[in-house]
């Protein structure tokens, strides 16, 4: 993390203003000590009539196979902002990708029953520190009134339609700040694009075994 902070100018989104970049650098520098706080959210886009990548939405339809029951759940939007813009003309159908937001307290209670108090507490500690690559921790904030977690590998998709976008905008739980969005993208990238998989695909050699 220290190396990232020292060289953060190489990684910051270039569209940010100098002041916004300064604020993000300060938040990143504090992150190892402070952890994930509600500064990951912003109220500046509360009235936005479009969806942004990383928005939290109340009441998205969800199905978890092999169960075929469909239920409405709070969810985190994973699709790129541009890909969710209904104004973009396409020659093909587009879909909204999202994953459910689970209640961390309820998740911890299940862990305690199955694995015991100590192991559950250890995992939850790592989740809050953002140490688990497939899980994004969400602090209370915006209209999210509990600590949440998102498993990236629980994602599903539905067709992008104007009425769904309109309804989702009316039911936003939160929108990420610049810092929150950056943290979200880092974790999303680590989960889905882990370049250092240590497999030589030309020879079939598993370098991780050495």
Q: Output the pTM of the full model.
A: 0.81
Q: Which structure tokens are listed for 96?
A: 């909204």
22-76 tens-digit pLDDT: 665 666 656 544 556 778 899 999 889 999 999 999 999 999 999 999 999 999 9
Contact 144, 173 (CB under 8 A): yes
155 pLDDT above the threshold of 90? yes
Query: What pLDDT score was predicted for residue 191?
Result: 83
4 pLDDT above the threshold of 50? no
Residue with tokens 């339809």: 61
């Amino acid at each position: 993390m220290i190396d990232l902070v020292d060289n953060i100018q190489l990684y910051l989104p270039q569209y940010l203003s100098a002041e916004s970049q300064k604020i993000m650098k300060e938040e990143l520098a504090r992150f190892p000590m402070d952890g994930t706080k509600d500064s990951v959210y912003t109220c500046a886009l509360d009235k936005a009539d479009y969806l942004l990548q990383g928005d939290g939405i109340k009441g998205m339809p969800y199905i978890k196979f092999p169960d075929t029951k469909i239920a409405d759940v709070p969810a985190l939007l994973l699709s790129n902002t541009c890909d969710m813009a209904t104004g973009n003309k396409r020659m093909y159908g587009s879909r909204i990708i999202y994953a459910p937001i689970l209640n961390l307290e309820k998740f911890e209670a299940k862990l305690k029953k199955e694995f015991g108090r100590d192991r559950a507490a250890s995992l939850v500690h790592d989740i809050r520190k953002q140490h688990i690559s497939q899980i994004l921790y969400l602090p209370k904030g915006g209209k999210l009134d509990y600590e949440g977690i998102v498993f990236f590998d629980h994602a599903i998709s539905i067709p992008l339609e104007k009425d769904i976008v309109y309804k989702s905008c009316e039911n936003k739980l939160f929108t990420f700040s610049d810092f929150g969005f950056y943290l979200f993208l880092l974790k999303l990238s680590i989960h889905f694009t882990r370049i250092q998989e240590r497999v030589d695909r030309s020879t079939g050699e598993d370098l991780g075994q050495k």
